[in-house]
Amino acid sequence: MDGDVLFALGLTLVAGLATGIGSLLAFFAKRTNTKFLSFTLGFSAGVMIYVSMVEIFFKARESLVGALGEQPGSWATVAGFFGGMIVIAIIDQLIPKQGNPHEVKKVEEMSTRTLPADNADLLKMGTFTALAIAIHNFPEGIATFTAALQDPGLGVAIAIAIAIHNIPEGVAISVPIYYATGDKKKAFKLSFLSGLAEPLGAIVAFLILMPFLNDVLFGIIFAGVAGIMIFISLDELLPAAKKYDETHLPIYGLMSGMAVMAISLLLVI
């Protein structure tokens, strides 16, 4: 296994384990910094949207046009882009509603509720949330891994954006499980395990996709990655950012994320 593959796998591991950071935040922070979370979620969305539409989509198109020709390659790029959106939308529809990973949680809820001795509904909700986030993390792992192999700088940017949005997801897992059991270790363990779906996606991509990776497959995967990240940004990140703070902070974060990504891409040209 060469250094590039190890680096790409390492990025997905770091991004995935950010759910564990969210879990620890829920246990040790006294208050949720809602303004900071709102800004950073908007920032993450800005990074994802900009890099998807300005960099990833066009790299996919370049690869597919080079392999298939102008017209077929352009159609294949568009099909891959919307195919990625459809895949993540179907995943969302298949996830039970009680495990909604988009539900905003705050660390204050740890101390403001009386913990029941055994609350099966809350435990079920927390477990479903962990499962839902694990399912979401799997294609994100493929996205980070594929991007990092093609362009390490791009992979780092995507990994940072995904790690930021994984932090509140760790809170979303920990809060209901801790309510239900009063067991911090169990809540952290489920949060940690859900994050491991990210590097698992990367390992599956390495074992299954790598042997067949050519310009056509790479282009379709990259186009799909762009669609997945746009969907996640619009369906998860921005709505969550607005729930944490209803002012203009999410948009300022969005603009900042786009600006940082734009400057980063210019610096590596």
Single-letter amino acid code for the residue at 185: K
Confidence of residue 29 (pLDDT cuts 50, 70, 90): low
Mean pLDDT of the chain: 80
Can you tell me the mean pLDDT for 153-173? Answer: 80
Helix, strand, or coil here: 225? helix
pLDDT of residue 99: 47
102 is known to lie in a ligand binding site: no
**For the whole model, what pTM was predicted?**
0.73
Can you tell me the mean pLDDT for 215-230? Answer: 89
φ, ψ dihedrals at 17, nearest 5°: -75, -5
Cα-Cα-Cα-Cα dihedral sign, residues 62, 64, 66, 70: negative
pLDDT of residue 268: 60
Q: Mean pLDDT highest for which of 20-29, 99-108, 132-141?
A: 132-141
CA distance 169 to 152: 26
Can you tell me the mean pLDDT for 142-157? Answer: 83
119 is known to lie in a ligand binding site: no
Full domain range(s) for residue 103? 3-267
CA distance 145 to 194: 17
Phi-psi region of 190 (alpha: psi -120 to 50; beta: other; left: phi over 0): alpha
pLDDT of residue 183: 78
137 is known to lie in a ligand binding site: yes
pLDDT of residue 122: 64
Whether 241 contacts 250, CB under 8 Å: yes
Can you tell me the mean pLDDT for 114-142? Answer: 70
pLDDT of residue 227: 93
CA dihedral 89, 91, 96, 101 (to 10 degrees): -80
Over 80: is that where the pLDDT of 231 sits?
yes
CA distance 26 to 90: 30
Among the residues of the chain, which ranges form H helices? 3-16, 18-28, 34-50, 57-68, 70-94, 109-112, 120-150, 152-181, 184-195, 197-204, 215-232, 238-244, 249-267
CA distance 222 to 72: 16
CA distance 221 to 254: 25
Over 80: is that where the pLDDT of 115 sits?
no
Over 60: is that where the pLDDT of 104 sits?
no
109 is known to lie in a ligand binding site: no
pLDDT of residue 95: 66
Helix, strand, or coil here: 39? helix
Gyration radius of the chain over CA positions: 19
62 is known to lie in a ligand binding site: no
pLDDT of residue 114: 46
Cα distances (Å, whole numbers) of residue 98 to 101, 102, 111, 152 = 9, 11, 22, 37
Domain count, the chain: 1
169 is known to lie in a ligand binding site: yes
Can you tell me the mean pLDDT for 98-120? Answer: 50
pLDDT of residue 131: 78
